[in-house]
C-alpha cells in the first residue's frame, strides 16, 4: 500500500497534504509513504522531517507517484500527471469539481478513483475529516488579520491620557464556520462586531459571540436552511430587502468581512459598488468568497484593489496564507478519512464502497464519473486531458503582506497608497440607530440589555463554540511549533509594473474621538 505526496503544482499554493505527524501515522497503519522532495517547503516542513517520520524521499513527482495506491493532495492534480499510479488509485483532496467537470472527466479517463473531500457529509463521525470547516475556520481568522494589517486605525477602544479613541466597527456577512471565527477574532481584537446571515440558526450563534445580528427575518428567512445546515439560494425579492437593510449598516462600518457561500453556486452578490462608495475612505473589505466570484461587486479575485479609498481584499486562498497551520489541520482531516479505508489487521486498503462517507465523496471509479452531481461529465473517449488552471501569479517581488493596493475607479487602474487625507475619516456615530422595518418584515437589531439565555439559546451557544473551537483544539493538540517570521509573496495586482512596496508610515497623530 503505497501513499504518495507530491509538491502542489497550483501556483501560490503553499499547503501540503501530509505532515511528518500524519506520515508517521500512515506508516503505522501499514503504508509506505513517498514524498516528493520540497513538497513541504511552503509550509516550513523540511525533507529531513519527512524522512525522520519514515517517508521515502522521491526526486520528482513521477518517482513519488509511480506505483502509488493512494495520492494525497491539496488541489486537484492534472490527470496527465497521474500516469504512473496503480489502476484505480485513490486521489484524495480538495478537488473543487464544480465548474471543473472536464477535469473530473479526465481523471475518470485516467482510471483513478477521485475523492472530493469537500463532499464529506457533515455528520458526527466525519467531523474530524471536514476540510471545509478546518480551512474555513482559518480563513475567518486570517481574513480579520489581513483587514487589521491594512486598516489605518486601531481596532480596540483606546483609553489613554490623551483621550479615548472609539473602537473600529466590523460587520461580518455570512455566519458559517469562517464567519463565526471572523466574529470571534474581531471581538478578540476589540472591534464592535455585527453580523448577518440568511439562516435562522445563525442568529443565536452570532449573538452568543457578543455580536449584533442584523437580518430581514421574514418567512423566507425562517425556511432558509437545508437539512445539511447550508444556506439555500434566496429569492431576488429577499436579496433586495436584505440589500436595503444592510446598505445603511455598511455605510457606518470600518471593516466588512464577507463569507457568504451557497454550495455549488456562484457566491451571492451582497455588496454593490454604491455600497462600497458609501463607506468612509480608509475602510477595508475582505471578500472571503472571492474564489467563487466574490460577494462584492468590485472584488477582483486574487487581488487587492482600492476604490474611493476603500481597500477591497480579494485573496482567493486566505487559508493558504497561514500554510503551516492550514497544512497541519488539512493533513489530519485526510489522515482521519484514509484510516477508514484501511484494514488495520491486514494492513491493506479495504474500501467499503457502501460506506456513506465513500459514497458521498467518490467522483470517479472504474473509468467513469459516478457521482450523481456530475452525471453529465462523461469522459469522452480519447478526449482532452485538461491541466489545472493556475492561480494568478504572485508578484515577482516578495514583499511584506502590506502592499500597495491597486486603485480602481473611473480614472482607470492606477497604483496608489491610501492618501493621508483618505486616512482622516469622518467618524460616524458608534451605535447604529434602529431603522424602521418594512411592512411585513421583522427586523432584528438587538438592544443593549441581553436577557438571560433560554435553553435554546444555550444550545446555540454550545453549537457556535463547538464549530469555531474544533480546528483550534486540533491545532492546540498538535503542539504546533510557531513558524518563523518570513516574507510572504503578494497576490498579483492588475498592473504589476505599478506595484510598489507599501511601508507603514509613522502613525500620524489621530484625533481623539
Ligand atoms: P458556507 O461556507 O456554505 O456559507 C457561509 C455562510 O454564508 C453560511 O452561514 C450561509 O448561511 C451564509 N450565506 C449564504 N448566503 C447568504 C446571504 N445571501 N446573506 C448572508 N449570508 C449568507 O457555510 P459553512 O461555513 O460551511 O456552514 C454552514 C452550516 O454548517 C453552519 O450552520 C455550520 O455551523 C454548519 N457546520 C456543521 C458541521 C458539522 O455538523 N459537522 C461542520 C461545519 C459546519
Collapsed DSSP state (helix, strand, coil) of residue 212 = strand
Collapsed DSSP state (helix, strand, coil) of residue 216 = strand
Task: Kindly report the protein residue whose alpha carbon is nearest to atom 13 of ligand 1.
Answer: 260
Beta bridge partners of 408: 307
Report CA-CA distances (Å) from 382 to 83, 91, 106. Answer: 15, 21, 9
Beta bridge partners of 4: 34, 71
Residues 6 or more apart from 341 whose CB is under 8 A from it?
70, 90, 349, 350, 351, 358
pLDDT of res. 223: 84
Spacing, Cα 505 to ligand 1 middle (Å): 39
- Calculate the average pLDDT of the chain: 81
Q: Are 203 and 180 in contact (CB under 8 A)?
A: no
Confidence (pTM) = 0.77
Q: Which residue has the higher pLDDT, 508 or 348?
A: 348
Query: All 3 cell numbers of residue 410?
Result: 473611473
The arithmetic mean of pLDDT across residues 72-79, rounded, is 97
Name the residue of 132, 201, 206, 230 whose CB sits within 8 Å of the most ligand 1 atoms, as the mutation to test its pocket. Answer: 230
Percent helix, strand, coil in the chain, to 5, is 35, 15, 50
Q: Among residues of the chain, what percentage have pLDDT more than 70?
A: 73
Q: Would the CB of 230 count as within 6 Å of ligand 1?
A: yes
pLDDT of res. 229: 74
Task: Kindly report the protein residue whose alpha carbon is nearest to atom 38 of ligand 1.
Answer: 122
Of the candidates 373, 391, 411, which has an alpha carbon nearest to the alpha carbon of residue 264? 373
Q: Is the pLDDT of residue 478 over 50?
A: no
For this structure, is 122 an active site residue?
Answer: yes
The arithmetic mean of pLDDT across residues 9-15, rounded, is 94
Name the residue of 138, 172, 177 whose CB sits within 8 Å of the most ligand 1 atoms, as the mutation to test its pocket. Answer: 177
Q: Is the pLDDT of residue 472 over 60?
A: no
pLDDT of res. 87: 97
For this structure, is 223 an active site residue?
Answer: no
179 confidence band (pLDDT: 50, 70, 90): very high
CA distance 261 to 134: 16
Q: Is the pLDDT of residue 499 over 90?
A: no
250: exposed, middle or buried (C-beta count within 10 Å: 0-12, 13-18, 19+)? buried
462 confidence band (pLDDT: 50, 70, 90): low
The arithmetic mean of pLDDT across residues 183-195, rounded, is 98
Q: Among residues 44, 47, 127, 478, which one is catalytic?
A: 127
The arithmetic mean of pLDDT across residues 122-131, rounded, is 96
Q: Would the CB of 133 count as within 6 Å of ligand 1?
A: yes
Q: Would the CB of 269 count as within 6 Å of ligand 1?
A: no
CA distance 88 to 45: 30
Query: All 3 cell numbers of residue 359?
Result: 459514497
- Report phi then psi at 6, rounded to 5: -115, 165
Segment (H or E) for 310: strand 310-313
Residues 6 or more apart from 236 whose CB is under 8 A from it?
none
Q: Give the lowest-confidence range in 43-47, 363-367, 448-452.
A: 448-452
Residues 6 or more apart from 27 whose CB is under 8 A from it?
33, 53, 54, 55
510: exposed, middle or buried (C-beta count within 10 Å: 0-12, 13-18, 19+)? middle
Spacing, Cα 51 to ligand 1 middle (Å): 39
Q: Would the CB of 243 count as within 6 Å of ligand 1?
A: no
CA distance 250 to 242: 12
Q: Are 271 and 243 in contact (CB under 8 A)?
A: no
The arithmetic mean of pLDDT across residues 446-472, rounded, is 54
Q: Dmax of the chain from CA atoms?
A: 75
Q: Are 416 and 409 in contact (CB under 8 A)?
A: no
pLDDT tens digit string along 380-390?
Answer: 444 333 333 33
Q: How many CB atoms lie within 10 A of CB 358?
A: 18
Say how many CA atoms lie within 13 Å of 368 toward its Cβ: 6
The C-alpha cell 470517479 sits at 364
Collapsed DSSP state (helix, strand, coil) of residue 407 = strand
pLDDT of res. 455: 67
Q: Are 1 and 349 in contact (CB under 8 A)?
A: yes
Q: Would the CB of 174 count as within 6 Å of ligand 1?
A: yes
Amino acid at each position: 500500500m503505497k501513499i504518495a505526496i507530491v509538491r502542489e503544482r497550483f501556483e501560490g499554493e503553499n499547503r501540503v497534504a501530509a505532515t511528518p505527524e500524519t506520515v508517521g501515522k500512515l506508516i503505522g497503519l501499514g503504508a509506505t509513504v513517498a514524498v516528493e522532495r520540497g513538497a513541504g517547503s511552503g509550509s516550513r516542513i523540511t525533507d529531513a522531517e519527512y524522512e525522520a517520520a519514515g517517508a521515502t524521499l522521491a526526486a520528482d513527482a513521477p518517482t513519488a507517484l509511480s506505483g502509488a495506491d493512494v495520492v494525497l493532495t491539496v488541489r486537484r492534480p492534472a490527470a496527465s500527471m497521474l500516469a504512473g499510479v496503480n489502476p484505480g488509485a485513490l486521489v484524495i483532496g480538495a478537488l473543487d469539481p464544480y465548474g471543473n467537470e472536464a477535469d473530473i472527466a479526465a481523471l475518470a479517463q485516467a482510471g483513478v478513483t477521485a475523492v472530493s473531500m469537500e463532499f464529506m457529509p457533515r455528520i458526527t463521525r466525519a467531523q474530524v475529516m471536514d476540510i471545509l470547516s478546518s480551512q474555513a475556520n482559518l480563513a475567518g481568522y486570517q481574513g480579520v488579520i489581513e483587514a487589521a494589517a491594512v486598516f489605518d486605525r486601531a481596532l480596540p477602544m483606546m483609553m489613554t491620557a490623551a483621550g479615548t479613541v472609539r473602537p473600529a466597527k466590523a460587520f461580518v456577512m455570512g455566519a458559517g464556520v469562517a464567519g463565526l471565527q471572523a466574529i470571534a477574532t474581531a471581538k478578540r481584537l476589540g472591534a464592535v462586531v455585527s453580523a448577518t446571515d440568511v439562516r435562522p440558526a445563525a442568529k443565536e450563534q452570532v449573538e452568543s459571540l457578543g455580536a449584533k445580528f442584523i437580518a430581514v427575518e421574514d418567512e423566507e428567512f425562517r425556511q432558509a436552511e437545508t437539512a445539511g445546515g447550508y444556506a439555500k439560494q434566496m429569492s431576488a425579492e429577499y436579496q433586495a430587502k436584505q440589500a436595503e437593510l444592510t446598505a445603511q449598516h455598511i455605510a457606518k462600518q470600518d471593516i466588512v468581512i464577507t463569507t457568504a457561500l451557497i454550495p455549488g453556486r456562484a457566491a451571492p452578490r451582497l455588496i454593490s459598488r454604491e455600497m462600497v462608495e458609501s463607506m468612509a475612505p480608509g475602510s477595508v473589505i475582505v471578500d472571503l468568497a472571492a474564489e467563487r466570484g466574490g460577494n462584492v461587486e468590485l472584488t477582483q479575485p486574487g487581488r487587492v484593489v482600492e476604490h474611493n479609498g476603500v481597500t477591497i481584499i480579494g485573496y482567493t486562498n486566505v487559508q493558504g496564507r497561514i500554510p503551516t497551520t492550514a497544512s497541519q489541520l488539512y493533513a489530519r482531516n485526510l489522515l482521519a478519512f484514509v484510516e477508514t479505508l484501511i484494514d488495520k489487521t491486514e494492513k491493506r486498503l479495504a474500501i467499503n464502497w457502501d460506506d456513506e462517507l465513500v459514497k458521498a465523496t467518490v467522483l470517479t471509479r472504474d473509468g467513469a464519473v459516478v457521482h450523481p452531481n456530475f452525471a453529465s461529465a462523461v469522459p469522452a473517449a480519447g478526449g482532452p486531458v485538461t491541466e489545472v488552471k493556475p492561480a494568478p501569479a504572485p508578484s515577482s517581488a516578495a514583499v511584506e503582506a502590506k502592499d500597495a493596493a491597486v486603485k480602481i475607479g473611473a480614472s482607470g487602474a492606477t497604483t496608489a497608497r491610501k492618501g493621508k487625507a483618505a486616512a482622516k475619516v469622518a467618524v460616524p456615530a458608534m451605535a447604529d440607530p434602529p431603522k424602521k422595518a418594512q411592512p411585513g418584515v421583522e427586523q432584528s437589531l438587538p438592544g443593549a440589555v441581553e436577557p438571560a439565555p433560554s435553553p435554546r439559546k444555550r444550545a446555540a451557544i454550545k453549537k457556535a463554540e463547538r464549530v469555531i473551537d474544533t480546528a483550534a483544539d486540533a491545532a492546540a493538540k498538535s503542539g504546533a511549533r510557531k513558524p518563523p517570521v518570513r516574507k510572504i509573496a503578494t497576490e498579483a495586482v492588475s498592473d504589476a509594473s505599478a506595484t510598489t512596496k507599501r511601508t507603514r508610515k509613522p502613525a500620524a497623530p489621530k484625533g481623539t474621538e
